[in-house]
Amino acid sequence: MSMVGLEVNGRLVSKDVPDNMLLAEFLRDSLGLTGTHVGCDTTQCGCCIVLVDGVSVKSCTVLVANAKDSRVVTVEGLSDGVHLHPIQEAFIEHHALQCGFCTPGMMMSAVDLINRHARVLTPEEVRSEMEGNLCRCTGYHNIVKAIVAASEKMHAR
């Protein structure tokens, strides 16, 4: 066991955790943030993606101890509590989710992608960059549209 302190969605948390506890388990089981999903346990599907210090990370393969002193943002932290984040709006508007299980990881990954490019993304860029996220429902068609639309919105300013 070791004491780990980090910031999650703007809130400082500090807990005594087992050394082998994964970040995904910490978020879901210790903090009750069940929006982060575990789809494969092996870094392959992307359902568990969160932002750690602004970078998208598959939280099923990161020890919470490794995230010590970092800033973690999960799907629950995307919205400011009043307004949805542009990526959330775009996913709804473009029907980019069906069952919704891959959606949190998809959106967190997309936010990182959009932030890394300070311009509007092309569909080809989205397809190439997002290939680490799996979706079984949508055939990706509408997710591509939503991410391009969100990039337009986020970089229109």
Residues near other proteins, by CB under 8 A: 28-29, 33-42, 44-45, 47, 74-76, 78-79, 84, 88, 91-93, 95, 97-104, 107, 123, 126-128, 130-131, 133-145
Minimal distance, residue 118 CB to other proteins, in Å:
22
Residue placing its CB nearer to other proteins in the complex, 6 or 85: 85
Q: Which residue has the tokens 């949805």?
A: 84
What 3 state SS string does 63-100 have?
EHHHHCCCEEECHHHCCCCCCCCHHHHHHHHCCCCCCC
Minimal distance, residue 151 CB to other proteins, in Å:
15
Minimal distance, residue 50 CB to other proteins, in Å:
11
Minimal distance, residue 74 CB to other proteins, in Å:
7
Q: What b/e string do you get for 42-80 counting C-beta neighbours within 10 Å, with b at 16 or more? A: eeebbbbbbbbeeebbbbbebbbbebeebebbbbbbbee
Residue placing its CB nearer to other proteins in the complex, 69 or 123: 123
Torsion angles phi and psi, residue 60, rounded to 5: -80, -10
The secondary structure of residue 57, as a DSSP letter, is: E
- The pair of three-digit structure tokens given for residue 101, joined into one six-digit string: 């299980």
Residue placing its CB nearer to other proteins in the complex, 64 or 102: 102
Residue placing its CB nearer to other proteins in the complex, 59 or 142: 142
